[in-house]
Every structure is written in structure tokens, then in C-alpha cells.
């Protein structure tokens, strides 16, 4: 089938815009937490988790034409483990946002794709390229720089909580990789319930002001759920290397919002460490995957398939995930369109990631 280059370029542009907007929505989470009047970190996690679960469950119902039991059953224990890990990550992130600067949190979370790649290598024995090890080492240096800069002002506990969030998100990514043939969107809904249950044990009162409740609805039902929908749609048209680059709107803009609205200053060590972490992600994005080859294959697949089809799972390529590609030797063996599609369904994390 002939490839319409102009149409493919338009799709890639559209996908990049959607992913960038998703990052924009996620970048407002830190500001939303800062604008809370009286809510504690645990209250924020509880209500955010509930509204997230409701919003994403509604999406599951829509995608599965009103069926709910079967999609949740299909995720199995792998999905349950991933949901628990993601719930832990949510708790860690919100707690971190209440203990340290927004910039420190988002810069630390930017290292999650690299950690996920290393965990996949350790748990699933998936190959990892030397550049990924180098990028991970560079990211760890950046996190250490940010943490050292906060030892004097007592904010190091926030950095620790952000690191816990990174580990939770990374375990979730590995669970997605293990269950790559299953739609894991129900696991995302379940993670909201897990986060709410975990935080409920530490809540003294469930009462919130009207403003705090509205902000919690926004954080769970809009910033996360709508951002997820846009990211999922955009991931169909971008390569695994391009996804984290398009989503850079999150770590870049998150510190800007709190600075503009609240005047939250960021220390030199935080900017330096954050620049190192983002540099590591950029190195991985440009050098850690076979970007051009994957781009050609994925876009040809999009041209050949019904544009209404859904990807195997909403987090097949996520801002927590490292991204995946086909091995070169497998690509050379692909001949027919059906063989290409079967090979693409067996994507592996870049030797790489």
C-alpha cells in the first residue's frame, strides 16, 4: 500500500500536539496542590484517587460498550500489582508536593522512564543499551544534586517521597510491559481506588472546603483523566523516542505555573539537578531508540489499519514508560503486511531502554 507522506506528517503533528497538551494538563497538578486551602496530603490523595477512579472507569465502560467485569478480569494479577504500585506512586507524588518544591518533584519524576527500563532489564530480562545505563547514571546524579541542595532547608523528605513515586511508576510500567497484550486501562482505574484506600488510613477527617473539593475533582477527573485520554490518542502517531520529548511540557511548565501564580522560588541546585535529569531523558530519547526506523513502521501500520482501532493498552507508551521498538533482525525478516502487524504486536523495549 502506498504511503501518504503528507497524511503521515499531519498525523504525527496532531499526535505531538495532543501529547503536549496532556503534559500541559499534568503540569498543573503541582499548582493545584499548592492552591489547596486546608486539605492535607492524604485528603488530596483520597479524593483525587476517587475522582480518578470514577472518570477512568467511565472511559472503560465507553471503550467496552457498557461491559465492566470482563475488562477488569483480563488484567489479572499483573494488573493488580501494577495498580498497587501506581497507587503508591500517587501517594508519594502528592506527599512530595506538600514537602518540597514543585520543580524538584517534576524533575525527579522525569527519571521514571529510565528507571522503568532498568527494572524491565532486571525483572523481565529485556535487553538494555549502554546509553540507557549512562542516562540513568546521569539522572541519578541530577537527583542527588537536587537532594543535596535541600538538605539545609529540611526538604529532603520531599525528595525521598518523589523517589518513592518514581519507583511506583516504574513498577507499574514493568507490569504494563509484562501484560502488553491486555488493555491495562482498568488497572489505572483500580490504582485510584488503591490510592484512596491507602490514604484513608491516615485521614483524621474527610471534610474539605468547597474550594479544596473542586480542586480535587480537577486533579483526578480532569488533569489526569483528560490528560490520559489525549496522551493515549497521541501515542498512536508518535514513536517511543518522540513521546517523552513531546511530553516535556510537564516538567518544563510545572515550575513556571507556581512561580507565576504563587511566586515559588527555585534554588540554583534544583535548577542544576533538574537540567541534568532532563538532559539524561533527552539523551535517551535521541540515542536510546531506533527512532527513524520505528517511525516509518508505525506510521505505515497506521496507514494500513482502520484509524478507529484502539492500541493494545492506554499505557503502551506512557510518560512513565521507556518506549519500545522492534529488533533490527526481526525487521529484516518482515515481508508481508500481515507479518509486519504480527511483528509489531511483539514489540520489545529498546535494547535499550
Q: Looking at the domain assignment, is residue 352 inside a domain?
A: no
Assess contact for 23 and 235: CB atoms under 8 A.
no
Name the region of 141 (left: φ>0; alpha: ψ -120 to 50; beta: rest).
alpha
Residue 153 pLDDT grade (very low, low, confident, very high; cuts 50, 70, 90):
low
Residue 85 pLDDT grade (very low, low, confident, very high; cuts 50, 70, 90):
very high
Determine the structural domain holding residue 87 and report its residue range: 5-344
pLDDT at 141: 86
Identify which of 330, 263, 260, 320 has the alpha carbon closest to the alpha carbon of residue 297: 330
pLDDT at 352: 31
pLDDT at 332: 42
Percent of the chain having pLDDT more than 90? Answer: 16
Q: What is the pLDDT of residues 3-49, one digit of tens each?
A: 467 777 778 788 888 888 988 998 999 999 999 988 888 999 999 99
Q: Looking at the domain assignment, is residue 353 inside a domain?
A: no
Q: How many domains does the chain have?
A: 1
Question: What is the Cα–Cα distance from 26 to 22, expressed in whole angstroms?
Answer: 6
Q: What is the pLDDT of residues 241-280, one digit of tens each?
A: 566 777 788 888 888 899 889 888 777 888 888 888 888 8
Q: Looking at the domain assignment, is residue 46 inside a domain?
A: yes
Identify which of 176, 125, 138 has the alpha carbon closest to the alpha carbon of residue 288: 138
pLDDT at 32: 93
Length of the chain: 353
Q: Looking at the domain assignment, is residue 193 inside a domain?
A: yes
Does 228 have pLDDT greater than 80?
Answer: no
Q: Looking at the domain assignment, is residue 351 inside a domain?
A: no
Highest mean pLDDT among 24-33, 108-117, 318-327: 24-33
Amino acid at each position: 500500500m502506498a504511503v501518504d507522506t503528507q497524511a503521515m506528517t499531519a498525523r504525527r503533528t496532531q499526535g505531538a500536539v495532543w501529547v503536549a497538551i496532556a503534559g500541559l494538563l499534568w503540569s498543573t497538578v503541582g499548582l493545584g496542590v499548592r492552591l489547596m486551602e486546608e486539605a492535607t496530603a492524604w485528603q488530596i490523595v483520597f479524593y483525587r484517587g476517587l475522582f480518578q477512579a470514577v472518570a477512568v472507569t467511565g472511559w472503560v465502560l465507553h471503550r467496552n460498550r457498557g461491559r465492566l467485569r470482563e475488562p477488569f478480569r483480563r488484567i489479572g494479577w499483573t494488573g493488580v500489582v501494577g495498580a498497587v504500585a501506581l497507587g503508591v506512586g500517587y501517594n508519594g507524588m502528592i506527599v512530595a508536593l506538600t514537602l518540597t518544591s514543585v520543580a524538584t518533584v517534576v524533575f525527579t519524576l522525569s527519571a521514571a522512564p529510565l528507571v522503568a527500563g532498568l527494572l524491565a532489564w532486571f525483572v523481565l530480562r529485556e535487553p538494555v543499551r549502554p546509553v540507557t545505563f549512562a542516562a540513568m547514571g546521569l539522572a541519578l546524579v541530577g537527583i542527588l544534586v537536587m537532594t543535596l541542595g535541600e538538605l539545609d532547608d529540611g526538604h529532603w523528605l520531599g525528595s525521598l517521597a518523589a523517589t518513592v513515586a518514581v519507583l511506583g511508576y516504574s513498577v507499574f510500567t514493568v507490569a504494563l510491559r509484562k501484560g502488553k497484550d491486555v488493555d491495562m486501562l482498568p488497572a489505572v482505574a483500580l490504582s485510584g481506588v488503591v490510592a484512596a484506600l491507602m490514604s484513608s488510613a491516615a485521614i483524621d477527617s474527610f471534610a474539605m472546603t468547597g474550594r479544596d473539593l473542586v480542586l480535587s475533582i480537577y486533579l483526578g477527573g480532569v488533569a489526569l483523566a483528560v490528560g490520559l485520554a489525549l496522551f493515549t490518542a497521541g501515542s498512536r502517531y508518535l514513536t517511543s523516542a518522540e513521546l517523552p520529548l513531546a511530553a516535556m511540557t510537564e516538567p518544563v511548565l510545572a515550575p513556571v505555573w507556581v512561580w507565576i501564580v504563587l511566586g515559588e522560588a527555585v534554588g540554583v541546585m534544583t535548577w542544576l539537578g533538574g537540567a541534568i535529569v532532563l538532559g539524561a531523558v533527552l539523551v535517551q530519547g535521541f540515542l536510546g531508540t531506533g527512532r527513524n526506523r520505528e517511525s516509518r513502521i508505525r506510521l505505515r501500520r497506521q496507514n494500513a489499519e482502520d484509524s478507529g482501532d484502539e492500541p493494545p493498552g492506554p499505557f503502551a507508551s506512557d510518560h512513565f514508560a521507556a518506549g519500545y521498538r522492534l529488533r533490527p533482525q526481526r525487521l529484516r525478516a518482515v515481508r508481508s503486511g500481515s507479518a509486519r502487524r504480527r511483528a509489531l504486536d511483539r514489540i520489545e523495549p529498546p535494547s535499550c531502554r
